[in-house]
Amino acid sequence: MLTLADASTVGAFSVYRDVVYDGGVRGTTPRFYAIAAAPRLARDDDGGPALRFVRYRGLAPGKDGAAALHAGGLVTLTLDLGPRDDERAALRAAIGARYGVDAAAVELADLPVREGRATLSIGGEGPGASAGGAAPELGGSVDVALGGASRVTFAVPVTQDGAALLAAALDGGEAVLFAALAIEFEHRLDGVSLHVWCDADRAAAAAAARRAAGAGAAPKDLAASLVASRAAGIEVESAAPLPGDEAARLEELGQELLADALAATVAKPDDGAPAPATDARLVLNHTFTASYPATARAAIDGPIAVQVTGDARAAREIDVDLAGAAFALDVTAVCPADFAGGLVDAAHVYVVYEARGEGGDPFRRETDFVLKDGAARKVFRIDASPSTRTYRWRATVTYKDGTTADVPERSTDATVLVVDVGLLGVVAVDVSLADVPLAAVTRAVVDLEVPSRGLTHQVVLDGASPSATWQVVAGDATDCRYRVAWILADGRRIDDGFCPAPPGGGGPRRIFLDAPRDAVRTRAVTAIAAADFTDVAQVLVELRSSAEDRTVLAFTAAGQTTRWTPDIEPGAPLKYQARRTVIDRDGTTASFDPTEEDSPFLVVRDVTRFEVQIVARLLDLGGAWTLALVALAYDDDATARHVQEVVTIRDRTEEPIWRVRVGAPDRHRYRHQLTLVAKDGTRRVGIWEDAADEILVLSPPAETS
């Protein structure tokens, strides 16, 4: 498992370690992940730089059909991100010296890259380089599909000035190209615990309020709102100090996990479908540890010097005169298939271009080529019409077993043609452990199937091998499913039923496995302080599992966390009592009856504080009415508490919160009255109404007085 712990720079590479967990005990391996710290041009088959530069200029038909001056260019680059073959021995030796590992045992691996974006600047100018867009951008940015971290190809259009500057720089080898690649790669939460918690009652109430007001309960917005109001929180615990960017990224991951948990429990999806029926109290409070896959970011940027002359330059720089009857359609074809270790032996690609010439006569151009091991990239050129760049392509795939399959013909105008493995009749499945406590789960046995073809495969995942890939020739089959058998450290076995594998979108299907909820029989209770402590000096919680086993925890601010392990038999169900006492800043004390609990997470808050969120989205504020006055009153004769307050709302998007101290958690009935004020000062006054909900959705008064 790739870990960010103990990462370092070794020579020209950023290096990350690999860790394993055997029986929950952490260990390291001789595997290291290396990625170049700066962009480097790959080499073509002829040994020259992997660069193509198409430069065009002249008169050509514009959008309205009239002749117009067109000029510019297209630069296609292939970058090497991993160590080249001639660099591996030296890098192994340097890594061995840095980490105290036998150089002969060092294994170099590519980063598990998820996605990336490439930017090309020329002469120091590119996207965002010119303030306010006053000057032309000489370069551009594109999203790139990364089949692996070792090599990436992308094409960026450039302006007329950019093309001229690059052409001049190629003669002297000046570094006018500046390439930047922003990538995201996968790692595991080694040495880090990410605790995501939420007050389930508050979350359910907030989601219901948003739906009632017609605002929807988008999980991301709901998560941010709950964290801001201290009804939810994200805690990162690390054995060593974290860099600022990594700590921020883990906070982002916590927000994403909280939003996912809300979507699975209390938040209604945007498509109106009901949320799954799950136990929100368990799902909304969780600690993600070593096995969980997270995403980190890396930036690879720097200048690129290119000097090509003679025949090498002629093969890489193409000048196109748009005034001619035809010009060159220059395309780079790339196949990210693993020809060396995968199932595909070669892909024979056929390209057809059809258009009409300047005189209206039709013409047709064809070419074909083979992509294979050692030649997975091909640049081809077709004489074409300036009026269209669209061409058709198809492929015949030959597999290692001698069988073949046809990729149906399709049309495109892409300057980088990606012949993806997902189009080559191969089903590729990546299966990984996600939220799995490695101390409690020994291994996960995963059965994979393509039923329509009778294809089956089994992988075993554990702390040493948390992920695996299955590739199989399946033709046009789309059905793929999996099931998991969880083997636990206490000897139990939990079998899941078959589930359909998610679609791959042209790439591998990615399956992340979470351990079943009852895989861990925890004896620990995590108590978390939530909500507002403004008027509270202390909240005391007495926890007891028996008359002899008891403890008292004290909380003074939201976000405080304390853990307690009750004295119960190993493997026995978790059951305990919690008795809460609230001490106000004025010394007033309120104690409440014990509650029966069975959750490993206990949210602690001031149970005498009742909050009402006021939603005004149904009022025509800013239109017929200038403002709304909401009178709220609470009366509790048993404790002689009598409170009345008026809340003013001027914008229908406001959601003010009214806070009141109630006599007891179950005595929170209150009264409210709405008054709408028009621009001319006239008022529409509603009647007093009773309510007990935490969400008050206002609607225009039905009666006036």
3-state secondary structure 602-620: EEECCCCEEEEEEECCCCC
| 561, 195 Cβ separation under 8 angstroms | yes
Split at pLDDT 50, 70, 90, the class of 256 is: confident
Beta-ladder partners of 657: 613
**Calpha distance 369→666 (Å, rounded):** 76
Statement: residue 705 has pLDDT above 60: no
* Top CATH class, 426-519: mainly beta
Measured between alpha carbons, how far is residue 668 from residues 102, 103, 206, 328, 521 in Å? 69, 70, 17, 77, 36
**Calpha distance 487→443 (Å, rounded):** 5
134-143, 337-346, 440-449, 496-505: range with highest mean pLDDT: 440-449
* Interior angle at CA 427, CA 422 and CA 430, nearest 5: 95
Give me the mean pLDDT over the 651-676 stretch: 89
**Calpha distance 275→284 (Å, rounded):** 14
Of 438, 433, 441, give the one whose Cα is nearest residue 489: 441
**Calpha distance 140→75 (Å, rounded):** 10
* HEC assignment per residue over 12-67: CEEEEEEEEEECCEEEEEEEEEEEECCCEECECCCCCECEEEEEEEEEEECCCCCE
Split at pLDDT 50, 70, 90, the class of 215 is: low
Q: 520: buried, middle or exposed (CB in 10 Å: 19+, 13-18, 0-12)?
A: middle
Rg (CA), the chain: 32
Statement: residue 117 has pLDDT above 70: yes
Split at pLDDT 50, 70, 90, the class of 275 is: very low
Domain boundaries, the chain: 1-188+296-320, 192-289, 426-519, 525-604, 609-697
The CATH number corresponding to 525-604 among 1.20.120, 3.40.30, 2.30.29, 2.60.40 equals 2.60.40
354-358, 445-449, 535-539: least confidently modelled range:
354-358
134-148, 442-456, 545-559, 632-646: least confidently modelled range:
134-148
Split at pLDDT 50, 70, 90, the class of 541 is: very high
Q: What are the start-end ranges of the E strands in 311-376?
A: 317-321, 327-334, 344-356, 362-372
Give me the mean pLDDT over the 266-291 stretch: 57
Of 442, 152, 193, 180, give the one whose Cα is nearest residue 294: 193
| 444, 487 Cβ separation under 8 angstroms | yes
**pLDDT cut 70: percent of the chain above it:** 86
**pLDDT attached to residue 70:** 64
CATH of domain 609-697: 2.60.40
**Calpha distance 381→393 (Å, rounded):** 14
Beta-ladder partners of 79: 41, 152
| 405, 424 Cβ separation under 8 angstroms | yes
Q: Specify the residue for token string 């988008």.
A: 218
Statement: residue 128 has pLDDT above 60: no
End-to-end CA distance of the chain: 70
**pLDDT attached to residue 125:** 54
| 507, 422 Cβ separation under 8 angstroms | yes
Region label for 364, one of left (φ > 0), alpha (ψ between -120 and 50) or beta (otherwise)? beta
Residue 515 is classified by DSSP as: P
Return all residues near 572 (Cβ < 8 A) that are at least 6 apart: 521
Length reported for the chain:
705
**pLDDT attached to residue 135:** 35
Q: What are the start-end ranges of the E strands in 213-326?
A: 232-238, 286-288, 293-304, 317-321
Phi, then psi, of 200 in degrees rounded to 5: -60, -40
Of 454, 456, 501, 453, give the one whose Cα is nearest residue 476: 453
**Calpha distance 603→107 (Å, rounded):** 46
Statement: residue 40 has pLDDT above 80: yes
Q: Specify the residue for token string 């595909």.
A: 344
**Calpha distance 69→302 (Å, rounded):** 33
Evaluate whether 426-519 and 525-604 have a shared fold: yes
**Calpha distance 94→470 (Å, rounded):** 33
More confident: 3 or 59: 3
| 449, 482 Cβ separation under 8 angstroms | yes
Statement: residue 123 has pLDDT above 80: no
pLDDT digit string, tens, across residues 582-617: 998 888 888 888 999 888 888 888 888 888 889 888
* Both tokens assigned to 421: 């493995």
In the chain, what's the furthest Cα-to-Cα distance? 99
Helix (H, G, I), strand (E, B) or coil at 255: helix
Residues 26-33: contacts with CB within 8 Å, 24+ apart?
26/190, 26/290, 29/107, 30/101, 30/102, 30/105, 30/106, 30/107, 31/107, 31/109, 32/95, 32/99, 32/106, 32/107, 32/108, 32/109, 33/2, 33/108, 33/109, 33/110, 33/111, 33/112
**Calpha distance 127→139 (Å, rounded):** 7
Q: Specify the residue for token string 């895989």.
A: 519
**pLDDT attached to residue 136:** 41
Split at pLDDT 50, 70, 90, the class of 69 is: low
| 678, 627 Cβ separation under 8 angstroms | no
Split at pLDDT 50, 70, 90, the class of 452 is: very high
* Interior angle at CA 74, CA 72 and CA 75, nearest 5: 130
Return all residues near 117 (Cβ < 8 A) that are at least 6 apart: 141, 142, 143, 144, 181, 182
Beta-ladder partners of 192: 238
pLDDT digit string, tens, across residues 229-249: 777 888 787 766 776 777 788
**Calpha distance 471→67 (Å, rounded):** 52
Of 486, 488, 508, 489, give the one whose Cα is nearest residue 497: 486
**Calpha distance 522→571 (Å, rounded):** 8
